[in-house]
């Protein structure tokens, strides 16, 4: 069983278009969709937005479906100015930019208690396999790098530049870090595929609304190709 987690309806819609024999299972507060992609058994979940939703959804998926790996698929704002709308970002790792215990000696900004590191690395073979599909999508740019997660929609140049200065990273969004942490703590392998919906700037609300379908489609297409190859 392959697990897929999307935060928003628009994102999961593009996954469901690629899934066959879909059965919807309402497991309050989440909807799970069980079916197959290219003959492989999958469960897709709609988590809703933000770290808490994503973490409890990921835990519920792990307990109920025991997926052998989890993909987090969706859209993100660009932190790196070279990224364009629709480009695909494959996470090498994720940082929770709003986790801050740096008031304590020897703790860095973003460092997570218990795990004691700032970045949680994605499962290397999943990341490599995802990035290697770049040749199958010559019309879409692929980048590999760090994704920044926090419970905030980044919609100003100032916020974006601050994040870039503090953590580096390619893109920002609101779920991947908590899915990575949940999967890591449960020893489940995981990968993160995001497509750029906006520039995390003062146009980001408009761009997000205009491009969410296109960007979600790009992320879903890559995810499906990956699942086919398993
Ligand atoms: N319209 C929704 C909120 C969407 S928040 C509502 O009203 O509930 C944005 C979603 O897209 C999050 O799931 C996040 O992961 C991703 N995202 C896209 N662009 C982003 C940005 N600039 N900053 C943070 N998250 C972003």
- Does the beta carbon of 8 sit less than 6 angstroms from any atom of ligand 1? yes
Q: What is the pLDDT of residue 20?
A: 98
Please state, in angstroms and rounded to a whole number, the distance separating the CA atoms of residues 18 and 40: 12
Domain membership of residue 52 as a residue range = 2-229
Residue nearest to atom 6 of ligand 1 (CA): 49
The continuous run of DSSP H or E covering 223 comes out as helix 204-228
Residue nearest to atom 13 of ligand 1 (CA): 49
Q: What is the CATH number of the domain that holds 115?
A: 3.40.50.1580
Model-level pTM?
0.98
CA–centroid distance, 174 to ligand 1, in Å, is: 6
The distance from CA 2 to its chain's CA centroid, rounded to whole angstroms, is: 15
Provide the Cα torsion 134, 216, 159, 98; round to 10°: -90
Q: What is the pLDDT of residue 192?
A: 98
Q: Which tens digits make up the pLDDT trace of 153-186?
A: 999 999 999 999 999 999 999 999 999 999 999 9
- Does the beta carbon of 94 sit less than 6 angstroms from any atom of ligand 1? no
Q: Is 152 helix (H, G, I), strand (E, B) or coil?
A: coil
Q: What is the pLDDT of residue 28?
A: 86
Residue nearest to atom 4 of ligand 1 (CA): 49
Catalytic residue numbers read: 11, 198
What would the two tokens of residue 39 be? Answer: 């003959």
CA–centroid distance, 39 to ligand 1, in Å, is: 31
- Does the beta carbon of 10 sit less than 6 angstroms from any atom of ligand 1? no
Comparing CA positions, the residue from 28, 36, 37, 93 lying closest to residue 64 is 28
If one counts the domains in the chain, the total is 1
How far from 10 is each of 49, 80, 187, CA to CA, in Å? 12, 24, 29
CA–centroid distance, 186 to ligand 1, in Å, is: 26
pLDDT along the chain (230 residues), means of 10: 98 98 94 97 98 98 98 98 98 98 97 97 98 97 98 98 98 98 98 98 98 98 98
Q: What is the pLDDT of residue 169?
A: 97
Q: What is the pLDDT of residue 25?
A: 96
- Does the beta carbon of 199 sit less than 6 angstroms from any atom of ligand 1? no
- Does the beta carbon of 174 sit less than 6 angstroms from any atom of ligand 1? yes
């Amino acid at each position: 069983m392959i697990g897929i987690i999307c935060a928003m309806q628009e994102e999961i819609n593009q996954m469901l278009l690629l899934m066959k024999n879909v059965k919807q299972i309402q497991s309050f507060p989440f909807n799970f969709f069980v079916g197959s992609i290219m003959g492989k058994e999958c469960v897709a979940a709609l988590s809703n937005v933000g770290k808490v939703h994503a973490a409890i959804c990921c835990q519920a998926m792990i307990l109920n479906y025991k997926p052998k790996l989890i993909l987090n698929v969706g859209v993100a704002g660009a932190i790196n100015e070279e990224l364009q709308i629709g480009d695909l970002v494959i996470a090498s790792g994720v940082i929770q930019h709003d986790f801050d215990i740096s008031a304590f000696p020897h703790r860095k900004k973003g460092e997570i208690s218990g795990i004691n590191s700032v970045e949680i690395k994605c499962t290397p073979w999943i990341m490599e396999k995802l990035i290697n599909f770049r040749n199958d999508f010559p019309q879409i740019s692929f980048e590999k790098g760090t994704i920044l997660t926090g419970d905030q929609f980044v919609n100003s140049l100032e916020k974006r530049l601050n994040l870039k200065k503090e953590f580096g990273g390619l893109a920002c969004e609101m779920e991947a870090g908590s899915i990575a942490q949940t999967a890591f703590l449960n020893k489940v392998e995981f990968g993160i595929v995001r497509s750029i919906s906006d520039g995390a700037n003062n146009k980001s609300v408009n761009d997000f609304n205009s491009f969410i379908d296109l960007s979600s489609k790009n992320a879903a297409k890559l995810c499906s190709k990956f699942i086919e190859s398993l």
